[in-house]
Amino acid sequence: MAQAIRQEVAKGVAECVSRGVQPGLAVVLVGADAASQLYVNSKGKACLEVGMHSETIRLPTETTETELLALVDRLNTDPAIHGFLIQLPLPKHIDESRVLLRINPEKDVDGFHPVNVGKLVVGNPTAFRPATPYGVQQMLIRAGIESKGAHAVIVGRSNIVGKPMASMFLQDAPGGNATVTVCHSRSRDLPSITRLADILVVAIGKPEFVTRDMVRPGAVVIDVGINRVPDAGNAKGYRIVGDVAYGPVAEVASAITPVPGGVGKMTIAMLLLNTLQAAQQSRLSV
């Protein structure tokens, strides 16, 4: 599915280029977080594969908030950059919320700016949808799993996944029209709620948290989690697991996403799609 979306994006990029606009994405990385560096490299490679202009800006950990804000201001006005993002997390001495608010909402391809959050809630089609829940929605649509009238239960209420996922499920549009329940750390008797789900989306950040007894037989399970757990039998000393106990839950679910190789594959594809959307909207506004 991710590859199909990339091919669709490449076609859209070629159309933009034929009209004199090459969609451009910039990624800003502050510091030397290993996981972030790997992710940033993947984004740059993906851009080149679909014909986009790509910039990766690496800044040292000691970069000041003032310096980072000045860079955001520059990218906001750079005509070659249609979308950009600041890789999180940022060093502790930088206020993430202040930096994210400084990004031009028309270039906020992560979909984290309050303007885009509001647009998503009210169903404005120009909104940029956060890439991970957007990818989940596309997986369901492309797999032919109907959300209309289904009970979608989301475990986790983060601004990155849980809240935007709920908004998408509620929209009167493909991949929406669901009845939505959002669970979190204060929810009482969580298993009794998750067992009501026709579609269960888990994004709580706890390894193999959802077990077989928490899933109704026949439910669709989407695992958004990525966790490292110790594994002495692995050469790296760890293995990657999701927020769902995959093996046991797969025995009762009608469909389930693996970790790795599931939702993560979709995230960069949707970021590319958002960048194409930004270029198209920029072109239309000229």
pTM across the whole model: 0.93
DSSP conformational letter for 63: -
Which DSSP string do the residues of 98-162 spell out, in sequence order? HHHHHS-GGGBTT--SHHHHHHHHHT-TTPPPPHHHHHHHHHHHHTT---TT-EEEEE---TTTH
Q: Which of 107, 108, 110, 137 is catalytic?
A: 110
Segment 17-50, tens digit of pLDDT: 999 999 999 999 999 776 677 777 888 889 999 9
CA pair distance 221, 209, nearest whole angstrom: 13
Does residue 138 have a pLDDT over 80?
yes
Domain 20-104 maps to which CATH number in 3.30.1490.100, 3.40.50.10860, 3.40.50.300, 3.40.50.720?
3.40.50.10860
Task: Establish whether 43 is a catalytic residue.
Answer: yes
What type of residue is 269? A
Does residue 191 have a pLDDT over 90?
yes
Task: Establish whether 11 is a catalytic residue.
Answer: no
Fold classification of 131-264 is Rossmann fold (3.40.50)
Task: Establish whether 33 is a catalytic residue.
Answer: no
Reported as a pLDDT band with limits 50, 70 and 90, residue 114 is very high
pLDDT value for 34: 65
pLDDT value for 286: 40
pLDDT value for 284: 52
CA pair distance 280, 76, nearest whole angstrom: 16
pLDDT value for 41: 80
Provide the percentage of residues in the chain whose pLDDT is more than 70: 98
139 burial type by CB count under 10 A (0-12 exposed, 13-18 middle, 19+ buried): buried
Is residue 42 within 8 Å of 13, Cβ to Cβ?
no
> For the ranges 59-68, 174-183, 206-215, 227-236, which has the lowest average pLDDT?
227-236
Domain boundaries along the sequence of the chain: 20-104, 131-264
pLDDT value for 89: 87
Q: How far is CA 5 from CA 140, 221, 269, in A?
A: 14, 22, 6
Q: Which of 7, 11, 37, 43 is catalytic?
A: 43
pLDDT value for 44: 85
